[in-house]
């Protein structure tokens, strides 16, 4: 039973870390897009 709980905890942690990296990458992409629009407007 402890093994199953450990595996579930590891899977949840891996999912959370992957989600953080995805959101971070999306934020960087949006920032770069906004900067490009700002440069084009000037």
pLDDT of res. 16: 76
pLDDT digits (tens, 9 = 90+) for 1-41: 788 888 888 888 887 777 777 777 778 888 888 898 888 88
Helices first, then strands: H and E counts in the chain: 1, 0
pLDDT of res. 22: 76
- Residue count of the chain, please give it: 42
Residue listed under structure tokens 């402890």: 2
How distant, in Å, are the alpha carbons of 14, 16, 18 from that of 31?
26, 23, 20
pTM: 0.52
Cα of 30 vs its chain's centroid, Å = 13
pLDDT of res. 25: 78
Q: How confident is the model at residue 42 (pLDDT cuts 50, 70, 90)?
A: confident
């Amino acid at each position: 039973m402890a093994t199953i709980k450990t595996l579930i905890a590891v899977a949840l942690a891996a999912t959370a870390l992957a989600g953080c990296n995805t959101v971070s990458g999306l934020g960087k992409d949006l920032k770069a897009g906004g900067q490009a629009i700002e440069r084009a407007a000037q």
